[in-house]
Structure 1
Amino acid sequence: MQASRWTPICALDDIVPNTGVCALVEGDQVAVFRVGGNTPQSVYAIGNYDPNSDAAVLSRGLVGNLGERIVVASPIYKQHFDLTTGECLEAPANSVHAYATKVEDGKVWVAA
């Protein structure tokens, strides 16, 4: 099994709670979200490209929840993507990659 390479993204405080930012991780656009508080569990990362709209826009979506699932709604057609798994709830075939995240010393990291 190949070890993950961690990429520093930004300070946790640079991401407004319940919003996302876009970062380049080893050549891929990744949408990084801060949900609620300041714990490592509050940071999620999924691919930024929305296959439903053919646009790299997921970091600009609205964060919320559907039942127990924490999701982002795409800003174009409003499909919901689970921030933990990357699953597109309305069209599972159009799911995106989910990335591991961590927060260390106030900095957000994403694993490639």
Structure 2
Amino acid sequence: MNWHQICDIDLLLPEYGVPVLVGDHPVAVFRTHDDQLFAVGNVDPYCGAGVISRGIVGDRAGEPTVASPMLKQVFSLRTGQCLDDPGTRLPVFPVRRRAALVEVALP
């Protein structure tokens, strides 16, 4: 795996996403209210737009989620699985904090 620096942790506000392009991969990086980091694909699989980073962050029964701003499908931030349509999912990428930096890994 190759780790790529994304941004300073202070630029990643809780409950908001940040869109980044890592190589050829559009990624949405999120920091939740309890300071967890998640990285999923930024392209909405239902409409093909790069908008997941602008989705509404929340949770469903304790599962951290993001709702697409386009058609409102809800995706798990842990697994990328659509909780409204289990046959659809977003890619998930490893993410970590190193000192004050956020990094995402690609295979």
CA-based RMSD? 1.0
When normalised by structure 1's length, the TM-score is: 0.90
CA distance in 1, matches of 2:68, 2:34: 22
* Structure 2 residue ranges without an equivalent (≥5): none
Confirm or deny that 1:88 pairs with 2:88: no
Identity %: 40
Q: What CA distance in whole angstroms lies between the structure 1 residues aligned with 2:102 and 2:34?
A: 13
How far 1:56 sits from its partner (Å)?
1.0
User: In the alignment, what sits opposite 2:68?
Assistant: 74
Question: Whose helix fraction is larger, Structure 1's or Structure 2's?
Answer: 1
The residue type equivalent to 1:53 in the other structure is C
**Could you say which residue in structure 2 is the equivalent of 1:16?**
13
Alpha-carbon distance in structure 1 between the residues aligned to 2:22 and 2:85: 25
Which consecutive segments of 4 or more residues in structure 1 shift more than 4 A? none
CA displacement at 1:91 relative to structure 2: 1.6
1:111 aligns with 2:105: yes
In the alignment, the residues of structure 1 paired with residue 81 and residue 51 of structure 2 have an alpha-carbon distance, to the nearest angstrom, of: 16
After TM superposition, give the deviation of residue 96 of structure 1 in Å.
0.9
* 1:55 has 2:52 as partner: no
Structure 2 length normalisation: TM-score? Answer: 0.94
State the Cα deviation string for residues 46-104 of structure 1 (Å, max 9, x = none).
00011112211000000000002100000011100100010011122221111111001
Aligned length: 106
How far residue 22 of structure 1 moved from its aligned partner, in angstroms, is: 0.5
Q: Which runs of 5+ in 1 are unaligned?
A: none
